[in-house]
Structure formats: C-alpha cells, structure tokens
Structure 1
Amino acid sequence: MPYESVTANLWENIIASMHNGVIVVNSDNQISLMNESAQKLLSVHNEDWKGQSIKTLIPNSRMHEVLEGGESSIGEKMVISGRACMVNRTPLYENGDRVGAIAVIQDISEMDHYRNLLKQMESIIEFSTDGIYVVDREGVTMQVNTAYEEITGFRRDELIGRRMVDLMSEGYFDQSVSLLVLERKQRISIIQRIGGKKDVIVTGNPVFDEQGGLEMIVTSVRDITHLNDLRMELEKAHTFSQMQNNRYTIKSGETEQSIIFRSPQIKKVYEHIQQVAPYPTSILLYGPSGTGKEVMANLVHDLSERREKPFIKINCGAIPEQLLESELFGYEAGAFSGASRNGKIGLLELADQGTVMLDEIAELPLALQVKLLRVLQERQMRRIGGTKWRHLDIRIVAATNQDLRNQIKSGKFREDLFYRLAVVEIAIPSLAERHEDIEPLMDHYFTYFCRQYRINKQMSEETKDILIQYHWPGNVRELRNLIENMIVSVPSTMIEPVHLPPHIRDQGQFDPFTSLKERVQQFERRLIHEVIEKNSSLRKAAEQLGIDHSTLLKKMQRWEKG
C-alpha cells in the first residue's frame, strides 16, 4: 500500500477517535469530513451530511470567514445544537493553496456545569458557620473558609500551602487532627487548643479516591469556648448555691453592714477607699478585731467596676490547714483520696472577675502563701491534681488584726507576699479612738434590729450616756451584738441602765476621789480579763495584748493576792 494511502488512513483514524468534534469543509464551505463526536453533537446518524453546506447543520457557522480571510479563529464560544461549545477554526492548505478549513468543536456545557457546581460547593463551604480546613494527602493546607478565620483569628494566606507539622510546631495548634487521620485513615474528633487561648472541637474526615487511596482530609471546626464558659458558669452557680453550707465563707453586704460614721478618722478612711476602689490594686486592711474591716472590704467591692461580680470572703483562720488549699484552689476529679468524682471549683476561681477578701491573712500557712503569691504575680492558678493553668482575674482585699511586719521578722509571713498585698494599706481605728461614732452606730443598730425583729422599744437617755462612755474593747462588733441582745432579751419596752451587763453598767460608777493610777489599773484589769476570755490560751492573750507571757502571769498573780 502506498505511503500516502497509509498516512491518510492514519489521520482518518486519529480524527475519528478524537473526543472533540472535528468538521472539515472544502473551499465551497461544503462538509467533506465529520468525525463521530461531531455527528453525535449535531445528532446526525447517517452520511447525508457529506457535500452539504455547513450552514445547513450549523446556521451560525463562521467557517466561510476563515475560507475568505485565511485567518484562524481560536477559542470562540458559541451555542451549537443547544449546547455551549468552544470552537477553533483553521484554514486548510494543499501545495500552498487554501483548499478548505477545519473546525475543532469542544462541548463545554458539562464543564460549565461542573464549574458552576464547584462554585456552588465553594459558596456552601465559604458560608458554613463551621470552620472548614482542607489538607491534601501530604498534610499540606489546601483550603480554609471564612468561618475558620473568624473562629481562630488566623488568616488563610498564612495557612494555605503550609504543612500541618510546621504549623503545629509554630504554636498554631496544640495537636492536629489531620495528621491523626493521615496516620489512622479514619474519622477522628478531638478538642483542640487554638493559639493557646481558644478551645474548638475538630472532626477530621478522610476522602478516598476511586482506588481507595487517601486523597485529602476535610476538617470541620466548631468553637466550643462559649460552651466551656457556660459549663463554668453552671459550675459556679452550683457552687454558689452550696455556699450557704460552707462555714468557711461569709456572705457580705447585709443591710446592717452600712458605713455609719461621724468621726474624722473614718471619714478619712472612707475617702481613701473612694479614691482607690475603682482600680484593681490589692488592699491591706488592718486594725483591731471588730472594727469593721469586712464592711470596708465590702465598700471597696461596691465602689469598683467589679460590683456586679462575685464578692467572696474567706476566713483563713477558720479553715483547717489540711482543707485550706482545696478550698482556695479546688481540685480535679480523683486528685486525692476522698475527692469528689466531679472535682471541685475553688473559692479563688469562683471569684473570677470579682473580689476576694482574705480575712485573718496572718493565719495563712507559709506553703499556701507561696501559692497565693504566684496567683497575684502570674494571674493564673491550677487546681490540685490538675495540669491546666486557668487565667484568674481577682482583686484581693486582705485583712488582719496583727502586725504583719512583726510576723515577717519572726518568719511567719513572707515579705514578698506582704508587699503584693499591701500595695495600699488602710488602718481601721478602734471604736475607742473614734468616740464620735459610738452614738450614730448605736442608733443605727437599734433601729435596724427593732425593724428586723418587729419590736418597738426605746432606750433611756441614761442608758445611752453609759453606752457612750463605755470603752468598747470589742469595737463595733461588741456594740452591735449588745444592741441585738438587749432588743431580744429585755422584756420591757424601755431599756434602762439596769438592763445593761454589769461590766458596762458599773464602769461609769466610780469614786470621784479615785486616783488616776487606780482608774488606769481598773481599766487594765478589765481589759485583760476580756482578752483572756476571747482567747484559748494565756500565751495568745499576751500576744494580742502586746506583752510578754511572764508579765501577764505576774499581773494575774498580783490581782489574786490583792
């Protein structure tokens, strides 16, 4: 067979097997060749097309322009038999003469369909409220949607094209579900920490090709930070509801705890608190027992921006040392023998964004002083048995009736903690030092308890005078308790001097000729007797009085002989 014949047959076979339609016209624009793909597109099922003008089958054909002008037309879109097509037209030459033209037709209607479908899918992914993260079989980021950017704060341009291994090592994620799916070839869900500050639940879904090979991993991401916040608020609410049974914390802010004063000393304290309360500064309140340090702490909270947040008072001296750490810091489930299986939120964590009053701060054990110092320095804490550090935003108001500087010298209190607590020091004077406040406080509590117990009583002027002259070693607490006692205990509607306790009633009845030295001795004896009654040992009483234990013993022995 001649070479030319073989070549012609080869080209006919090539054209016949092409996926795209091929039509050849002669110089008269008549069809001389059409492959099967073109016949299928034009719905031609026999060979009647041969010799027909191409316009018979394709009315909008522009082949004649190629025949006349001799220039190719590449990539023109047009509709043929109702389908979108891409057409390339080229003149056909033989021995230098233009003898016809050839058109290659590509049906792009399916391509447009898939392109539109792809756009729809991209829109669905883009507008999904869940974050979508796609990586390929090599763990390289392919696609990230807007929701993922909003959830994580990461921009897609800093992620796309990056390997998950590298992103994880740079701290973007604490672990990668995509890498886990690549390893196990199955759907996996984990809780992921994004940027060290936000919790998300991520589910990695493997996508396999027709041969069963892993092609990509599509990960959905949902922000659960707000769910964790809700869970924490629920836990806090549950703990708050149980606090009435917690004998180590005291609810503050009762109606009776008002700031009542007339003295310049308390006015100065009040103005100082007004000045510092709006700031998150730590405050140390110090002064004798019963002077109203808790009331002042409550005032600090009420005048601050934290007034709508928790205010928790913790009595460091009332909690057994072995329980104090778990009460303050809480614990995780199973942290120690006897621990609740659900764990427990600590009082410090419970007060997050609020105020904590640490009463009797001098009684805090040294080991816990170190932990409290860390809370103040780093603004974070960790539950007993836990590994997770929790951010903590609390304002500390500490209170004591002891000289912490002396405690530091004796090694009972850390100096660094003292300076953290005593950024602002406020001294609360005893009631004996602010005599002007006795009468208004007395009137306030008398009115309060009469209303509280729905009792109508009065106090004689003579009784008032005796109470005003009394030295009140127990300070405001003693005055309040005495008023309540008289209102509920005295049967008559008028409270007279006879109804007063003997040590108060008799203190105003002295011999006008008694020397100053004798009066001082009487006062000293009465004061020491009251302090001894309030303390469990003579050694503690001596410490509170500020005298040596031996000195106290000598005084008591002298009084016994006298």
Structure 2
Amino acid sequence: MTYPSVTANLWGNIIASMHNGVIVVNSDNQITLMNESAQRLLSVQDDEWKGKSIKSLIPHSRMHEVLEGGEGSIGEKMVISGRACMVNRTPLYENGERVGAIAVIQDISEMDHYQNLLKQMESIIEFSTDGIYVVDQEGVTMQVNTAYEEITGFRREELIGRRMVDLMSEGYFDQSVSLLVLERKQRISIIQRIGGKKDVIVTGNPVFDEQGGLEMVVTSVRDITHLNDLKKELEKAHTFSQIQNNRYTIKSEETEQTLIFRSPQIIKVYEHIKQVAPYPTSILLYGPSGTGKEVMANLIHDLSERREQPFIKINCGAIPEQLLESELFGYEAGAFSGASRNGKIGLLELADKGTVMLDEIAELPLALQVKLLRVLQERQMRRIGGTKSRQLDIRIVAATNQDLRHMIKSGKFREDLFYRLAVVEIAIPSLAERQEDIAPLMDHYFAYFCRQYRIDKQMTHEAKEMLKKYHWPGNVRELRNLIENMIVSVPAKMIEPVHLPLHIQDQSQSDSFFTLKVRVQQFERRIINEVVEKNSSLRKAAEQLGIDHSTLVKKLQRWEKDNKSDR
C-alpha cells in the first residue's frame, strides 16, 4: 500500500491523534499499524508490536474473519485487556485487492461507569422527598421527579419540554425561581403558589459548565403546608405544657372519673347522653355542685367523633376576669403591655376540632359572653390585637349549678347566649335523689384509693349503712373526699362507724338509726379489731381480751361473713 508522502503523513497524523484505538493488519493477520490509543489499551511500548500476529495481543480477535470473508462488523462488544470495548472492523483494499483489515476500538468502560453513575443520580433525584424541577439555560423544562408531581398535582408529561414563561402565563405558578436564577445567576429562594391553591418554598440552584457558563437550573420544592401544620401543633403542645390545673385541665384517663351508677335517674341521663353525644350540638349540664357534671362532660366527649381530639376544661370562675379574655382568645405579639413577644394561642383555638367544657359558665363576664356568642354563631374567632379571623370547629359543653333563666331576668346572663349553649339541656340530680348510686360509688372510690395508696382496708357493714343513710349535701364530690380521708386518716384496718365524721354520726343518732344493742356491738367490734391488729396471733389477742380463743374466732368469722354478704 503506497501513498504520496504528504498523503501518508496526513493519514498518519489523523490516525495518531484519534481518541479511539486503531489497529491495521495485513493479509497474514500481522499488525502493520497501531496508534498510541491502541498501544495504551494493550499496554505495548515503542515498536514491539510491529509484525506480530494480532492474536498474540488479542487472543480472541476476529480480524481473521474479516480477512477471510471480506465482511466487516460494527458495534461488537468485546473485553480487551480487562476493559469493555466497542469494536468496528472493515476490510482494507488496494487496487481492488483485499490486502488487510482495520479495526477501530472504543473503550466504553468509562462510558458504562458514567451511565451507571447517571442512573444512580436519577434514582436519587426520583426518590427524593423534596420535589426536583430542572430547566436548561433557555428555561425549558428538562426533568421533574415523582415528589414534585405529588406536591403539585402536575404530571411530568405536561411540563417536560415546555418553557417556564409559557407555564407561568397558563397559571401553573405565579412566579418562576428558575427564570430569576437564569437572570441573576445565583441561588434564590422564594414562596411560590402552585395552581393558585398551594404555597410551596422553592430554591433554585444554578449549575455552571467548565467554562463558567450557566448550563441549567436545579430547583428543590418543599410543601410548606405540612410545615405550617407542624408549627401549629408545636404551638399547641407548648401551650398544653403551660396549662395550670387550678384554672383549666385537659382530659385525662383517671379511673376515679369513671361513671358509676345504678339508679334509674342516672340511667336516663346516660341514655340521653348516648343519643346526643355523636352530634356537634352544644350541651348545657346543670345541677347542684359536686354531682359529677365533669364526668358527664367526659362521657359526652368520649362518645363523640371528637374523642381523639383535644378536650379542654375551663373553669370560668377560677380565672381572674382581667385575664380571662386573653386566656380564651389568645393574643398577637405586642397586643398589649406585658404581652409575650411571640403572642399566645388561646384555649378555644387550642381546642380546635375538639371539645371545650365551660364549667361555671354563669361566672362568665357579660363582655365575654358577647364574644363567645360570636364564636358560636360565626364559627371563627380573632386573637386580641389581631386582624385575621381564624376558623374554629369546637363543641361546647357548658355546666352550671345556678339558675341561668333567673340570671337572664336579672340581666346577669345573655338570653341569646343561653339558647346557643342550651340546645340540649341535661339535668344531673343530686346524690340524695339517687340513693341507689351511693353504695356502688362508695365501693368504687374505696377500691380506687386503696389501690392508689397501696393500703389494705375494709369497712364494716354498719359503717356502710350509716353512710348510705347520710343525705350528702356535697354530693359525689363529698363522698369521694370522705372515702379518701378515711383511707389515709384512720389507722385501723377496719373502718367502723366510730371512725366516721361526727356530723354523720350525729345525723344517724338523731335519726335513731342504731339501737343500744347495736351501738354496744359496734364498740365491742372496734376494740376486738384493734387488739387483734396489735398481736401476732389470735390466741394472744384472746388472752389480752380475757375471752376464750374459740369465742374470738367465732366473732371474727361472723363479722367476716357479714362483710362478704354486704359486698
């Protein structure tokens, strides 16, 4: 094969400068030409390759097939010197005669590496929880990920290939951070409104090429709706932690607050509550102090669809009047002198989606009655010093031991508010009106406080009978407090009538409830129990009492039998 010298030099320079490896063999499959790229690939130096069979360097070479058949091959993948390569082969002719073959070898191992790297990067982008939006230097959408589709509701098919200017004009976004980055060539963050409905925070990042030119803009998108919800929940949690029990409480799962009843009066109340609790209507509970209105309010909340939401109890009579408005409605930062610089969420707002119990509602000042009425009518409220009304979804359960209708006539309670609160009225009878509930309530609280304080005590049949005959002016609250007092105050393990408060004993005496014989038996029982507790055995106790051991055993067995029959 002969060329003019200039042409040969030109072809030699072209082949030598090629990035791909080039190998030329003659008709005997011996190497006659190899450029530097091929030498580097095969790790040969200088001219040691000249005249060698190509099989000695590439054992699985198929150049002989081209020499024999005269047909080339394109794009065949081979592994040469441990590297993935793409090989093109073609026969070489001179004056119409096949004189050899030429192979062009492209090292694609790096290309595979970059392709794998690209796939990894695409996977990272695709599975990012932030939305990703990519545009080129012309502002044309190149790529969006699944998170962006989920955040915005837009499909990538309607975005990719489209100009940001056109998408803005069609209302997809109110402004484009990508266009701002292309203009200013720096990182920019803005709040963007998507489709006129949702606010997101977007951050555009410029990507420059090796020459410093702006190649593309990669934008991260985060839905701040969830962040706003988290901020609101955090604010609520912070306020919950500051609640003072002497003012208001959040519903707790105290077992002592369990509704215990046997009387037909409370059965009727319970059935009424079961009927109305599922509905969001306002309820007014009224009855004497201590009858258990708070327990009934708990029951209303538990039987409603709001059971998993906040239940806040506010004692309107326990909060100073000058603080009550800010406690109920909250305030904005700097609303008044001494206000927190961060503002404060109010109790009504805190209970959003839940239930509010307004205990002692009759104590609510007239000025706040007007504001509460507006909340019930408009289902929204405004913090003190605020200009923005907030939607509010709360269920009001009000409670009082006063006659609100009488207060309306005397001008101390608003009639319009009364009818808003008393959509459903439920009267809670006094304990004296439902004596069937006294015994189960006593048993419940007695067992509760024994577990609470880890004390093992019992109450005699006579003491129980005396308590059942008592008129309980303080209702359930008085009964509860009395039982707790006896559990912790009486040193004896057996509570006798003599251990009961004097006013209860006096009432029993005035009612001639016990005969002289019964009183003597009570005194005898109390003395025997005290001696038994102080001695290590019944035999020693009998000796100290001056009675036979068998007599003592019979008395104790009889009293134990009486106690069991009373349970």
Q: Which bracket does the TM-score occupy, shorter chain normalised?
A: 0.5 to 0.7
How many matched pairs?
476
2-structure distance, mates of 1:300, 1:226:
31
Per-residue CA shift, 1:308-339, capped at 9, x if unaligned? 65422235677677755532342343344432
What is the SS of the residue equivalent to 2:339? coil
| One of 359, 369, 376 as aligned partner of 2:373 | 369
Q: Which amino acid aligns with 1:23?
A: I
Report the counterpart of residue 282 of structure 1 in structure 2: 281
How far off is 1:169 after superposition?
A: 8.9
Deviates further, 354-363 or 490-499: 490-499
Matches within 5 A, 1:43-62: 43-47=43-47, 49=49, 52-62=52-62
2-structure distance, mates of 1:483, 1:16:
103
Q: Which amino acid aligns with 1:365?
A: Q
1-structure distance, mates of 2:179, 2:386:
27
Per-residue CA shift, 1:172-198, capped at 9, x if unaligned? 889877666556544567899999999
2-structure distance, mates of 1:173, 1:101:
61
Q: Is 1:38–1:105's contact at 8 Å kept on the other side of the alignment? A: yes
What is the SS of the residue equivalent to 1:212? coil
Report the counterpart of residue 427 of structure 2 in structure 1: 428
2-structure distance, mates of 1:25, 1:461:
122
Report the RMSD for the aligned CA atoms in angstroms: 5.8
2-structure distance, mates of 1:245, 1:462:
31
Q: Is 2:438–2:468's contact at 8 Å kept on the other side of the alignment? A: no
Using a 3 Å threshold, how does the CA distance of structure 1 residues 480 and 338 change in structure 2: closer, same or farther? Answer: same
Report the counterpart of residue 38 of structure 1 in structure 2: 38
Using a 3 Å threshold, how does the CA distance of structure 1 residues 260 and 436 change in structure 2: closer, same or farther? Answer: farther
Matches within 5 A, 1:93-112: 93-94=93-94, 96-112=96-112
Using a 3 Å threshold, how does the CA distance of structure 1 residues 71 and 444 change in structure 2: closer, same or farther? Answer: closer
Q: Which amino acid aligns with 1:370?
A: R
How far off is 1:428 after superposition?
A: 1.5
Q: Is 1:463–1:497's contact at 8 Å kept on the other side of the alignment? A: no
1-structure distance, mates of 2:116, 2:468:
95
Per-residue CA shift, 1:237-267, capped at 9, x if unaligned? 55344432664x3677888866566664543
What is the SS of the residue equivalent to 1:243? coil
2-structure distance, mates of 1:382, 1:140:
45
| One of 496, 505, 522 as aligned partner of 1:494 | 505
Q: Is 1:74–1:88's contact at 8 Å kept on the other side of the alignment? A: yes
Per-residue CA shift, 1:181-227, capped at 9, x if unaligned? 55654456789999999999876554332223333445567899888
How far off is 1:340 after superposition?
A: 0.8
Q: Is 1:172–1:194's contact at 8 Å kept on the other side of the alignment? A: yes
Using a 3 Å threshold, how does the CA distance of structure 1 residues 86 and 480 change in structure 2: closer, same or farther? Answer: closer
Report the counterpart of residue 208 of structure 1 in structure 2: 208
What is the SS of the residue equivalent to 2:77? strand
Using a 3 Å threshold, how does the CA distance of structure 1 residues 117 and 445 change in structure 2: closer, same or farther? Answer: closer
Q: Is 2:353–2:392's contact at 8 Å kept on the other side of the alignment? A: yes
Q: Is 2:250–2:310's contact at 8 Å kept on the other side of the alignment? A: no
How far off is 1:128 after superposition?
A: 6.4
Q: Is 2:357–2:398's contact at 8 Å kept on the other side of the alignment? A: yes
How far off is 1:72 after superposition?
A: 2.1
Matches within 5 A, 1:107-122: 107-122=107-122
2-structure distance, mates of 1:490, 1:23:
115
Using a 3 Å threshold, how does the CA distance of structure 1 residues 478 and 436 change in structure 2: closer, same or farther? Answer: closer
Q: Is 1:382–1:388's contact at 8 Å kept on the other side of the alignment? A: yes
Per-residue CA shift, 1:459-506, capped at 9, x if unaligned? 9989969x59xxxxxxx7689679989x99975662239999xxxxxx
Q: Is 1:459–1:496's contact at 8 Å kept on the other side of the alignment? A: no
Using a 3 Å threshold, how does the CA distance of structure 1 residues 65 and 498 change in structure 2: closer, same or farther? Answer: same
Matches within 5 A, 1:120-199: 120-122=120-122, 134-137=134-137, 142-143=142-143, 185-187=185-187
1-structure distance, mates of 2:105, 2:467:
119
Q: Which amino acid aligns with 1:83?
A: R
TM-score, normalising length: structure 2? 0.61
How far off is 1:27 after superposition?
A: 3.9
What is the SS of the residue equivalent to 2:338? coil
Q: Which amino acid aligns with 2:79?
A: V
Using a 3 Å threshold, how does the CA distance of structure 1 residues 463 and 17 change in structure 2: closer, same or farther? Answer: closer
What is the SS of the residue equivalent to 1:494? helix
What is the SS of the residue equivalent to 2:244? helix
How far off is 1:75 after superposition?
A: 0.4
2-structure distance, mates of 1:232, 1:372:
22
1-structure distance, mates of 2:358, 2:169:
42
Using a 3 Å threshold, how does the CA distance of structure 1 residues 31 and 328 change in structure 2: closer, same or farther? Answer: same
Q: Which amino acid aligns with 2:328?
A: L
Per-residue CA shift, 1:340-373, capped at 9, x if unaligned? 1232222123335542123438955334433344
How far off is 1:271 after superposition?
A: 0.6
What is the SS of the residue equivalent to 2:210? coil
Using a 3 Å threshold, how does the CA distance of structure 1 residues 289 and 336 change in structure 2: closer, same or farther? Answer: same
Q: Is 2:21–2:41's contact at 8 Å kept on the other side of the alignment? A: yes
Matches within 5 A, 1:86-485: 86-94=86-94, 96-122=96-122, 134-137=134-137, 142-143=142-143, 185-187=185-187, 205-218=205-218, 235-244=235-244, 247=247, 249=248, 259=259, 264-277=264-277, 279=278, 281-285=280-284, 287=286, 290=289, 293-304=293-304, 310-315=310-315, 324-352=324-352, 354-359=354-359, 360=361, 364-375=368-379, 383=383, 394-399=394-399, 402=404, 425-428=424-427, 436-437=433-434, 440=437
Q: Is 2:314–2:356's contact at 8 Å kept on the other side of the alignment? A: yes
Deviates further, 104-113 or 232-241: 232-241
Q: Which amino acid aligns with 1:282?
A: T
Q: Which amino acid aligns with 2:83?
A: R
Q: Which amino acid aligns with 2:374?
A: V
Using a 3 Å threshold, how does the CA distance of structure 1 residues 397 and 493 change in structure 2: closer, same or farther? Answer: closer
How far off is 1:171 after superposition?
A: 9.2
How far off is 1:283 after superposition?
A: 3.5
Using a 3 Å threshold, how does the CA distance of structure 1 residues 153 and 357 change in structure 2: closer, same or farther? Answer: farther
Runs of 5+ in structure 2 lacking a partner?
450-456, 487-499, 512-567
Q: Is 2:29–2:53's contact at 8 Å kept on the other side of the alignment? A: yes
1-structure distance, mates of 2:167, 2:183:
17
Q: Is 2:126–2:147's contact at 8 Å kept on the other side of the alignment? A: yes
Report the counterpart of residue 78 of structure 2 in structure 1: 78
Per-residue CA shift, 1:4-26, capped at 9, x if unaligned? 77655544443343222233344
Identical amino acids, percent of aligned pairs? 73
TM-score, normalising length: structure 1? 0.61
What is the SS of the residue equivalent to 1:358? strand
